[in-house]
């Protein structure tokens, strides 16, 4: 399993490289989602059945 390929690279090094690439992509997507897509708690809208105090 850990035999070198035609370029002399070991399979473990290739696996580690792909793992790092996948973690990097996941980190970028997670950062993008949390900073741009998800609403911060202060900006969330009230539930539809919640009546503002001024309308009571």
pLDDT tens profile 10-55: 778 889 999 999 999 999 999 888 877 666 666 666 666 666 666 5
State the pLDDT at residue 29. Answer: 92
Query: 28 or 2: which carries more pLDDT confidence?
Result: 28
CA 25/CA 8 separation, integer angstroms: 27
From the centroid of its chain, how far is CA 38?
Answer: 12
3-state secondary structure of 32: helix
0.85 cut: is pTM over it?
no
Distinct helix (H) and strand (E) counts, the chain: 1, 0
**At CA 17, angle to CA 11 and CA 20, rounded to 5?**
140
């Amino acid at each position: 399993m850990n035999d070198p390929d035609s370029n002399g690279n070991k399979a473990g090094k290739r696996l580690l490289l792909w793992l790092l690439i996948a973690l990097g992509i996941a980190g970028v997507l997670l950062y993008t989602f949390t900073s741009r897509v998800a609403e911060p708690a202060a900006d969330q809208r009230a539930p539809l059945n919640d009546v503002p105090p001024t309308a009571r």
